């Protein structure tokens, strides 16, 4: 998974969420990103290896009653809460199983960024993934 700065076309001054490009993650990203009107899932990184989108307000803000039967944005959630909620949505909607990595940034004046391995993994899996990343980075350098 490339760093956010390595993903082509990704707006660095916006709140975005990215995950490796798999059929399951595309299905999940399409469902979750489209909660924001006119939001699209984009491919970027070397050979289109990553998917990214702007994070919809439903994940960025607490949704509160607007007094008219609808919802409006309340307080902004912490970056880790945003990343976890978006990740859970993509996992559920895309039926993503097994360990994977996601990266995101939540912008609000000062930048907040995060990344996470989603799901618990064995040490063998973590070491294998780290070795794979080192090989890929070495090949791309």
pLDDT digits (tens, 9 = 90+) for 13-33: 889 989 888 888 889 999 999
The DSSP letter of residue 42 is E
Give the pLDDT confidence score for residue 41 in this predicted structure: 92
What's the chain's Rg over C-alpha atoms? 16
Provide the H-helix boundaries in the chain. 23-33, 57-60, 79-94, 123-140
Distance CA 20, CA 6 (A): 13
Distance CA 134, CA 128 (A): 10
Q: Per residue in 95-111, pLDDT tens? A: 887 777 888 888 874 33
Can you state the percent helix, strand and coil of the chain, rounding each to 5? 40, 30, 30
The DSSP letter of residue 31 is H
Distance CA 98, CA 111 (A): 29
Helix (H) or strand (E) holding 135: helix 123-140
Model pTM above 0.75? no
């Amino acid at each position: 998974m490339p760093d956010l700065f390595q993903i082509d076309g990704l707006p660095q001054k916006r709140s975005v969420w990215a995950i490796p490009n798999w059929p399951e993650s595309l299905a999940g990203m399409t469902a979750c990103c489209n909660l924001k009107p006119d939001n699209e899932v984009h491919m970027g990184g070397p050979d289109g290896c990553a998917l990214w989108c702007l994070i919809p307000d439903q994940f960025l803000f607490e949704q509160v009653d607007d007094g008219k039967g609808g919802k409006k944005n309340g307080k902004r959630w912490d970056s880790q809460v945003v990343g976890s909620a978006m990740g859970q949505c993509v996992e559920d909607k895309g039926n993503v199983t097994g360990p994977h990595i996601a990266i995101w940034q939540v912008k609000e004046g000062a930048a907040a960024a995060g990344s996470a391995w989603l799901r618990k993994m064995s040490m063998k899996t973590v070491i294998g993934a780290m070795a794979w990343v080192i090989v890929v980075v070495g090949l791309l350098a």
